[in-house]
Amino acid sequence: MKLANYVSGQWKEGTGAGEPLFDPVTGEELARISSQGIDVGAALDYARSQGGTALRDQTYGARAELLGKIAEVMTTNREEYFRISLLNLGTTQADGAFDIDGAIYTMKYYAKIGKALGASKILKEGGTVSISKTGEFAGQHFLAPTKGAAIFINAFNFPAWGFCEKSAPSLLSGVPVVVKPASPTAWLAQRIVEDIVKAGILPAGAISIVCGSARDLLDHVCESDIVSFTGSADTAMRIRGHENVLRRSVRVNVEADSINSAILGPDISPGTEVFDLLVKEVVREMTLKAGQKCTAIRRVLVPRQHFKAVGEAICARLSSLKVGNPRNAEVKVGPVVNKAQQSSCLEGLRKLKEECEVLFGGDEKFQPLEADAQKSAFVQPTLLACKNGLEAKYVHDVEVFGPAATLVAYDSLENLIAIARRGLGSLVASVFSNDPGFLKSVILGIGDLHGRILVVDSSVASQYTGHGNVVPSCLHGGPGRAGGGEELAGLRALLLYHRRFVVQGPSNTLAEIAGLSADTSVLYS
C-alpha cells in the first residue's frame, strides 16, 4: 500500500519505491510513502489562490462551523484512528486516546470559541489614535488574515493532535494548510485528511498533505506564508537559516527540544499527598506514549534529604508496569516509534550513564512482553540519579526522547533555580509544594525560561490537568532551547496567522472599517 498525497485538489501517488512505514512491535512493513514527482510549488500556489481565497470569503463564524464539522467526521472515524495508531505507533489505548481524543477536543474547542468572532472578516486592535489637533485625522490598528499558506512540518509522536492544534487556528483565521507529517507515522495524519476531503467540508485548496520528504518545499515559500515546525533543534535551525526563508522574511514558529522539570518543594515529606502526586506524575510522564512527548518530565528536582525516598517511590511504581505488545490489555508501556528512535534513545542513555547512577531499568537487552526484542523497538523505562546537578552536563543537554528521567538533588532555593535554568528554555515545569513563598520564588526565578508552569498543592490535588497535558485554552511553547514559538492559548493562536497594520485617515472612514471588524479584546477574554 502506498499512501497518496493530496495537493492542488487531487490525490497523487509519489513516484519511486517510496519510504516504508513499520509496526514498531512486529517490525512488519505497513505502507510506503513518497513525495517524489509532486510539484510542491504548484501545491502552495493552489492553496494560496484557491483555498485561501475561498476561506477568506467566509466569516470567522462560518469557518468555526467548518471546524465543528471536521470534529464530527473525526469522531465518526475515531476507532479507525485507534487501529492505525496501534499499528503504526505501537500505542496502548491510553496512548492513542491522548493523541486522538486530544485532537478531536482541540478541534471542537476552536469550533466553539471561534463563534465569538461572529460575522467579521478582519480584527480591530485597540481604539483609534488621534494624530491631529482636531481628531479628524486618526489611526486605527487592524489584523487581517495573511494571504499565504500555513506549512506545518510536524513531529512523529502526535500525528493527530499535532495536525489539529495547528490546523484549527489556521483554518479559523482563513489561512489554508499544507501538512507535511513526520514520515515514520504519516499514516494517521494522511487518513484524517482523507476523511476530511471525502466529507467535502472545506473548499478546494484549503487543506493539502505531502507524505514523504519535504524536498524543495521551502524553496517555494513566500512572505505571506507561515512555516510552523515541531521537532529537533537541529532541523529548526536549518529551516530558520534556509536562504529563501531568510530572503523573504517568512514567519517561522518552532517547538523544539525541551528538558522539562518536575520540582518537589522542601516542605513536602515522603508519605504526604503532594509527595505521592509528584511520584505518580513522573511515572505517568515516563510511560505515557513511552515518554515520546515534547512536554514529558526529563529532570526530577528534589531536596537532597528526600533524594533516596523519591527514587525508591518512583522505582516501586515502575516495577509494577508491564512493558510490551500493546495488544495485550495488561501492557501499560509500548514501544518507541521505530528502530531508529530506539537507537537514539539508547545512545542518549549511554551518555547519561556516564554521569548518573541507574536506579531502575537501563537494560538494553531486556525482554518486552509478547514481542521479539530483535524486531521491535522497545526501550526499558529508566530512572537515573544525579547527585551533583550543576556539575552535570548531559542531564541538562541530552533529551532522551523515550521512557527515561533523571532524579537531580538540590540543596537550596538558589541551587534549585540555577539547576532548572540549565535546561536553557523549556516548554513546562511543574512545582509540587504547599509553601506559597517557595512557589512564588520558583515562579519568579524560572518563569522567563518556561512557556508553562504547573503548580500543584493540596487544594488542587484532584483537579489539576497534568504536567504533560497541553490544553488549548493555554499557551503551548517555550523560549530558548524549546524553540521560542507559541501555539494555542485560546484565540491568541490566531495572531500567528494574521498581519498587523495601521490605517491612518479620516476618523469616519476608520469607523466604517472598524464596524466590519471583531475587536481583538475577544482574543484575550
294 catalytic residue (yes or no): yes
Residue 234 contacts residue 210 (beta carbons within 8 Å): no
Q: Which DSSP letter does residue 369 get?
A: B
Among residues 260, 279, 446, 376, which one has the least CA distance to residue 22? 376
Among residues 410, 430, 479, which one has the least CA distance to residue 450? 479
Choice among 19, 165, 255, 281 that is catalytic: 255
Fold of the domain built from segment(s) 40-256+485-524: Aldehyde Dehydrogenase; Chain A, domain 1 (3.40.605)
Q: Is 44 exposed, middle or buried (0-12, 13-18, 19+ CB in 10 A)?
A: buried
Q: Which residues contact 223 (CB under 8 A, 6 or more apart)?
A: 148, 248, 249, 250
Q: Which DSSP letter does residue 494 get?
A: G
Strands 322-323 and 331-333 come out as parallel
Among residues 20, 3, 98, which one has the least CA distance to residue 338? 20
- Give SS3 for 56: helix
Q: Which DSSP letter does residue 269 get?
A: P
pTM of the model: 0.96
Domain map (residue ranges) of the chain: 40-256+485-524, 260-477
Question: Phi, psi at residue 333, to the nearest 5°?
Answer: -130, 120
255 catalytic residue (yes or no): yes
Task: Please state, in angstroms and rounded to a whole number, the distance separating the CA atoms of residues 337 and 379.
Answer: 10
As beta bridge partners, residue 324 has 369
Task: Please state, in angstroms and rounded to a whole number, the distance separating the CA atoms of residues 501 and 430.
Answer: 38
Task: Please state, in angstroms and rounded to a whole number, the distance separating the CA atoms of residues 283 and 296.
Answer: 10
pLDDT (tens place) for every residue of the chain, 525 residues total? 899 999 999 999 999 999 999 999 999 999 999 999 999 999 999 999 999 999 999 999 999 999 999 999 999 999 999 999 999 999 999 999 999 999 999 999 999 999 999 999 999 999 999 999 998 999 999 999 999 999 999 999 999 999 999 999 999 999 999 999 999 999 999 999 999 999 999 999 999 999 999 999 999 999 999 999 999 999 999 999 999 999 999 999 999 989 999 999 999 999 999 999 999 999 999 999 999 999 999 999 999 999 999 999 999 999 999 999 999 999 999 999 999 999 999 999 999 999 999 999 999 999 999 999 999 999 999 999 999 999 999 999 999 999 999 999 999 999 999 999 999 999 999 999 999 999 999 999 999 999 999 999 999 999 999 999 999 999 999 999 999 999 999 999 999 999 999 999 999 999 998 888 988 888 887
Q: Give Cα 383 to chain centroid, integer Å.
A: 24
Q: What is the grid cell recorded at 204?
A: 478546494
- Give SS3 for 17: coil
CB atoms within 10 A of CB 207: 25
Rg (alpha carbons) of the chain, rounded to whole number = 24
Residue 16 contacts residue 132 (beta carbons within 8 Å): no
Residue with the three cell numbers 528536582 = 301
Question: Phi, psi at residue 250, to the nearest 5°?
Answer: -70, 135
Task: Please state, in angstroms and rounded to a whole number, the distance separating the CA atoms of residues 427 and 467.
Answer: 10
Task: Please state, in angstroms and rounded to a whole number, the distance separating the CA atoms of residues 276 and 231.
Answer: 32
Fold of the domain built from segment(s) 260-477: Aldehyde Dehydrogenase; Chain A, domain 2 (3.40.309)
Choice among 164, 211, 294, 356 that is catalytic: 294
Q: Which DSSP letter does residue 291 get?
A: G
